[in-house]
Amino acid sequence: MAGKIAVVGDRESVLGFRSVGFDVFAVTGPKQAADVIKKLAEEEYGIIFVTEQSLAGEEAVLERYKDSRIPAIIPIPGKDGSTGLGLSNVRKSVERAVGADILFK
């Protein structure tokens, strides 16, 4: 069902999302995060939030689904703050849609 929302990341960063009804998946590293995201995509989750730190070195999973309608994979800052991955993805999406970097230049 495309209406399902998941949050993937370290336990401390994602546990609070359970209180608003999201499915929470605590992972211990980037490889496990990438594997969980692939599984959630197969289960037709519509939106998958993932902490930036959980994807360090496994950003290829974002590339794999970037042109797919489902799932929308959205990097979010974790408990240690932002690594810039989420903002970088926004910049790339805007450049692809508009043809120029209109947000940051």
Give pLDDT, residue 84. 58
pLDDT at 80 over 80: no
Give pLDDT, residue 54. 87
Chain centroid to Cα 83, Å, comes to 13
Q: Given CATH 1.20.970.10, say whether it is the number of domain 5-98.
A: no
Over pLDDT 70: what percentage of the chain? 73
Q: How far are the Cα atoms of 43, 60, 65, 77 from residue 93, in angstroms, in the given order? A: 25, 15, 13, 18
Boundaries of every domain in the chain? 5-98
**Distance between CA atoms of 33 and 36, rounded to whole angstroms?**
5
The pTM of this model reads 0.76
